Amino acid sequence: MRFSPVSSEGTKMTYLYNDPTEFADEFLDGFVAANASLVRRVPGGVARRTATPAGEVAIVIGGGSGHYPGFAGLVGAGLAHGAAAGGVFASPSAQRVYSVAKAVAGDAGVLLSYGNYAGDVLNFDQAQRRLIAEGIPCRTVVVTDDIFSAPLDEHTKRRGIAGDLAVFKAAGHAAASGLSLDEVWAAADHANERTRSFGVAFTGCTLPGATEPLFTVPPGRMAVGMGIHGEPGIDETDIPTADELAALLVDKLLDELPAHVGVADGSRVGVILNGLGGVKYEELFVTYRSITERLAAAGVDIVEPEVGELVTSFQMAGVSLTLVWLDEPLAEAWRAPAWSPAYRKGSMLVATGDSVEVAADVLEEPIPESSEDSRLAASLVVRALGAMASVIDSNVERLGHLDAIAGDGDHGIGMQRGVTAGAAAAATAAESGAGAGTVLLRAGDAWADRAGGTSGALWGLILRALGEALGDTDMPTASNVALGLIAGRDEVVRYGKAQLGDKTLLDALTPFVESLETGAAAGQDLATAWPIATATAKDAAAATAELLPRIGRARPHQEKSVGTPDPGAVSLAMIAQAVADVITESKERV
C-alpha cells in the first residue's frame, strides 16, 4: 500500500491505492465483496445479485470510476439492474457496456442511461447498436442537467451531474412497475427534462498516482459551474458564506425553469444537495438550512430532499444543487422505495436467492491462419506498439497538463492505459502465431476496453480498421496502410462526430493519412512515406493551438484552450513519430 503526500497547493491527494492502472477494478472487487448480498461482479462492471425478473426492463447505467456512489452504488431494487464501470474519470468501453447489458437483459429489453460526455455517448451508442443487432431491444436516455455547461438553446450538449439520480430513479421505478421499454424510456426522459443542476468547487481533485490536482482554485476563491471530472469552472468568485452560496444556487436554478413549469405556491421539487467529496455533511446541512428558506420564500414545496454525497469527484471540495420539478408521475417515482448499496429509501422486499453466474464475456477466438510474411509484419507491429507505449509513458504528465487547460486532465493517463494494454495484447497474439491483421485487431480491442473514454474508443477503431485492411496474408505497404488508416479516419468521424477544425485528434489524423495516401500514390514505400506524413501530423498538431474546441469536454472552456494544442492531436503526432522510428530502424536492418 502506498501513501501520497499533500500537494504544494494544499490539495489532498488520493492516499490509498496500489497500481493506479488497477484502481478502478480493485475498487469494484472490494465494493462487491462488501455488498455481496446485493450485487455481483460481471464482466465490465456490477449487476444486481439476482436475475432480472421476466417482463421487466433492465436499467443499465454507468460512467467513469471515481464518482461513488455513482454508479455502482446505485445498482439495486428500484434503481439500476447493472452499472458499467470505466477507469477513473474515463467512460466504460463499448465492450464493457455490452457485457453488463448482456448480464442483466431479459425479455423486455434494456434502457441505457448515463451522463452526457463524449466518450460515454460514443461507447454506449456502440453497445446499443450491438445489442439491437443481436435482437435485444434497447433505448437510451442521456442525462443533461448541468445548466452551466451549455446555454439553454444547446441543452442537448449539457453535462450530466448529480441529476443522474433523479433520472435513474424514474427509470427504475417505471421498470419495477412493469412498464414497457418505450414507457420506461418516456419516464426517464421526462425526469431528465424536468431536472436542473449546477455546482461550485473550492479545490480540485487528484487522481490515483498523480502528483498534482487536475485543476486548482486560488485560495479564498470559488469556481462556479465546474464539472465532476475536474473540468474547470465557467466563472470564479470569492468564497461566499453558506447563506450566500445557498442564494446563488437557488437563484440560478430558479432563473431557468423547465418547459411548462412555473414557480407558484404549491410548486413541488425534489432537492439534491450533493457533496463532491471534500465538503462534509455538517457543512451541507448548514447550507441546506438556507436553501429551504429560499425555496419556501419562492412558494416552492420540497419533497423528500436528499442531502449527502450522491455523485463525488474524489477529494474535490465542492457542492452541487439539483432541483427536480415534480408532477404527479415524477413525484410518485421520486418517493418510491429503492434499495441499493449506497441509496436506500422506504422499505421494500428485496429479491434473494442464489447469485446468477455469468460466464466470461467472450470466449477467446482462435488465431486465424496467417502467412509467413504477415507473421514477420506482426513482429514489426509489436515493436511499433511497444515504441508507442514508451513515448506515451514518457509524456503522460505533459499530455495530462495539456488536457487540464480546458478539459479534465486525464488524457495522458487514459492513453497510457490503452496503449499499454494494446501492446500487451499484440505481443500475446504474435507469440501465438497471429498475422499482422489479427495482432492489430487484438490490440485495438484491448486498447478500447482498457482505456475507455473517447480517445480509447477512437484508437480502438483506428487499429481495428488498419488490421482489417492489412489482413493476415500480405506485408504492409504504403498503399494498404494508407487505405486502412483512411478507413480508421472515417470511423473516427462516424462515431466521434468531430469534423476538421473542431480541435481534436482528427485535425492531425486527417493530414497524416492524406499525406500517406499521396506518398503511396506517388510510388513511395512505407519507410519513405510514413516519416513525411509524420512531419505533416506534427505541424497540424501544433496548429491546433489556435483553434477553438467545438466538441468534447473542452468545449465549455473554449477561450482557455487558445494557445494550447489539442492533447489528442499531440499524442497522435507523438505516436506517428515513434512508429516512424521503428519503420526506419527496421529498413536499416534489412
Q: How many helices (H) and strands (E) does the chain have?
A: 17, 14
Catalytic site residue from 67, 229, 411, 557: 229
* DSSP secondary structure code for residue 75 in this structure: B
Comparing C-alpha atoms, which of 86, 84, 87 is closest to residue 99?
84
Q: Does residue 71 have a cis peptide bond before it, meaning omega lies within 30 degrees of 0?
A: yes
The per-residue b/e assignment along 279-317, b for 16 or more CB within 10 angstroms, e otherwise, is beeeebeebbebbbebbeeeebebeeebbebbbbbbbbb
Phi, psi of 48 (to 5 degrees): -55, 150
Phi, psi of 76 (to 5 degrees): 170, 180
Distance, in Å, from the CA atom of 127 to the CA atom of 110, rounded to the nearest integer, reads 11
Comparing C-alpha atoms, which of 97, 45, 115, 122 is closest to residue 454?
122
585 three-class SS? helix
Q: Does residue 69 have a cis peptide bond before it, meaning omega lies within 30 degrees of 0?
A: yes
What is the CA angle 440-445-449, rounded to 5?
A: 145
Catalytic status, residue 229? yes
For the chain, report the end-to-end CA distance as a whole number of angstroms. Answer: 48
The per-residue b/e assignment along 225-256, b for 16 or more CB within 10 angstroms, e otherwise, is bbbbbbbbbeebeeeeebeebbbbbbebbbee
Burial of 44 (0-12, 13-18, 19+ CB in 10 A): buried
- Tell me the three cell numbers of residue 230: 475536474
**What is the distance, to the nearest Å, from the Cα of residue 290 to the centroid of all Cα atoms in its chain?**
34
Q: Radius of gyration over alpha carbons of the chain, in Å?
A: 24
> What's at 121, amino acid-wise?
V
CA distances from 291 to 249, 257, 315, 319 (A): 8, 17, 24, 13
439 three-class SS? helix
Distance, in Å, from the CA atom of 246 to the CA atom of 120, rounded to the nearest integer, reads 31
Burial of 34 (0-12, 13-18, 19+ CB in 10 A): exposed
222 three-class SS? strand
Phi, psi of 78 (to 5 degrees): 85, -5
- Tell me the three cell numbers of residue 274: 450533493
Place of cell 450485487: 39
Place of cell 506518398: 519
Q: Which are the catalytic amino acids?
A: 229
